[in-house]
Amino acid sequence: MKDGFIKVCAATPDIRVADCGFNVKNITDIMMEQDRQGVKLLVFPELVITGYTCQDLFLQEILLKEAKKGLKTLVEASKDIDALVFAGLPFAWQGKLYNAAAAFQRGKLLGLIPKKYLPNYAEFYEQRHFYAGEDEIQWISLPEFGKERVPFGRNLLFSCKEIEEFCVAAELCEDLWTPVPPSSYHAVNGATVIVNLTASDDNTGKDSYRRELVKNQSARLICGYLYASAGEGESTQDLVFGGHSMICENGAILAEAERFKNGCIVTELDVKRLAGDRRRMTTFHTDGNGKSYETVEFSVSVEDTVLTRKFPQKPFVPSKKEEREKRCEEILTIQALGLKKRMLHTGCKSVVVGISGGLDSTLALLVMAKACDMAGLDRKQIISVTMPCFGTTDRTYHNAVELTKRLGATLLEIPVKEAVDLHFRDIGQDKDVHDVTYENSQARMRTLVLMNVANKNNGFVVGTGDMSELALGWATYNGDHMSMYGVNSSVPKTLVRYLVLYYAQTSEDEKVREILLDVLDTPVSPELLPPENGEIAQKTEDLVGPYELHDFYLYYCLRFGMMPSKIYRLACGAFDGVYEKETIYKWLRTFYYRFFSQQFKRSCLPDGPKVGSVCVSPRGDLRMPSDAVWEIWKQDLETCQPV
């Protein structure tokens, strides 16, 4: 449960219709096994104690008595069970029969939640047997379950004493399929996890609709959603139930059962992440919406949750090829449309870019070509400037020159060595001292050249720096940091690579493809130090750390506001076998130190299009004081320092 991870399970047991004893035994076995696995929330299907397909047998008194007896057996069996358990049964009260979910834990019945929306169509005819449940909570006496009264009603929340973000509410099957599901009210009244006890039959195509329904509800409510469905063992008189259970978190399926096969699906919900998302989403109002709720507290043993869910090494990059290609095309289009608008609005006669032969300037040039095509402008209006200096290598120089020519842009070569040497003389800089002044003077000279070329050609400078560099402050202030429009400013380095690769793979020009693949194979470098034996001497990732690590840190830091210690834990799992824990920790400290100390560079960024959920623009996405200190983040990091 450390860091807000709650191990949860949706279970579909083997059952027999109307055989409560058989069903209760199998439910109990699963309860015991999942408790041994550390599960803290366990959900069974609708009417699981009797079976959903009993039909008019629900009107038989003996079945109702056996169902209540079965529930009592389950509650007693939960005496040493740490998990909060939900199981469905027919529940008779005051002359009415309800389709209900029972919540119990540690030998105590905590509450009963009736189904509100009862289907009344061909295959499901629940209104024949059941009454719709009421919102209002009644506290009822059930002698079989002790002297304390039990809450009965839909507006019921189960809140964990140990983790305030862990708050559970329930709805049943058809409730979800209505225009305004009860879970919508549950969520705005504080529930972060919704459980759905269901018996959804299977027919052709229904699984796709059901999957989207569960995913979308978890996204709309910013919640965890456990959907436990009835399976094999139900009557097949007219229908087949496939046990299509799912566990979702804010629109993402974390676990999904194999259809037509009973069993359990287990994963971990991150309730702190959900709570953080809700704080960020100011339109998500937990104002109760005029509903009156009762809260029942429960306790669980606090322990480290062993994580089984996987966190991708590249969270900005879709793992599936088809989705990744679609994302790349979408991002290139967003970048190009943003630039197109700026070009048409300013009425410029040219757009200027400094082309180095590296990844970022290559992507910027590709975007500029696409923008010109969209605007119906001649690509000759792109002025691609190469500015060789002390660190330029033949490889990057030739790639820059050849790519410019193949794309049909205008090439302009302006060596800046002499200008930088003169500047060194003016400020008294020894050119043999390769310090920060040596490096930044080159970057600022190049920006000066680009700005003046743009003025001379009635144009503006397009920035090339990416979001990863901006997060780390790996940019020369008023050097490559500055432009009139930064097309890459919200694209992380790991995604830059895939965008260039996608362009290469979809290009019809074999020579362009060849150049781009070589650019991808070139080490990332600002090329500000003299080459060694003709090769790049200054490799960025040797100095600030691997970008795949920094992008991982950046995503979970800004997207979810996670604590450094939690990000470290996730990174150790994601990069297990790739980096040592000491390496992960070292670069995480570097990330936080630079992220805080370099905010002043991000506070005055040029305009640029947002392409994803994370951005560092000071005009909306990251409003952060430039003089904030990182002391408490550092202290948290020190708690997880590897020994």
Beta bridge partners of 268: 7
Sign for the pseudo-dihedral over CA of 172, 173, 176, 180: negative
Task: Work out the burial of residue 322: count CB atoms within 10 Å of its CB; fewer than 13 is exposed, 13-18 middle, 19 or more buried.
Answer: exposed
Q: Which two tokens stand for residue 59?
A: 């009107």
The catalytic residue among 40, 115, 116, 493 is: 115
Alpha helices in 416-485 (DSSP H): 417-427, 436-456, 467-472
Judge whether 66 counts as a catalytic residue: no
Residue with tokens 């008194």: 61
Judge whether 532 counts as a catalytic residue: no
The catalytic residue among 9, 173, 248, 328 is: 173
H/E element, 385: strand 382-386
Backbone φ, ψ for residue 175 (5° rounding): -50, -40
Q: List Cβ neighbours of 491 (8 Å cut-off, separation of 6 or more).
A: 331, 335, 363, 466, 467, 499, 611, 612
Nearest to 105 by CA among 50, 183, 160: 160
Nearest to 211 by CA among 169, 240, 242, 187: 242
Alpha helices in 533-630 (DSSP H): 540-544, 547-560, 564-574, 581-597, 599-602
Sign for the pseudo-dihedral over CA of 219, 221, 222, 228: negative
**CA atoms of 33 and 35, how far apart (whole Å):** 5
Judge whether 173 counts as a catalytic residue: yes
**CA atoms of 176 and 115, how far apart (whole Å):** 10
**CA atoms of 407 and 482, how far apart (whole Å):** 25
Q: Which two tokens stand for residue 135?
A: 């919102």
The catalytic residue among 9, 20, 40, 46 is: 46
DSSP labels, 98-150: EEEEEEEETTEEEEEEE-----EETTEEGGGT-PPPPSS-EEE--GGG-SS-E
3-state class (DSSP) for residue 42: strand
**CA atoms of 589 and 380, how far apart (whole Å):** 45
Active site residues: 46, 115, 173
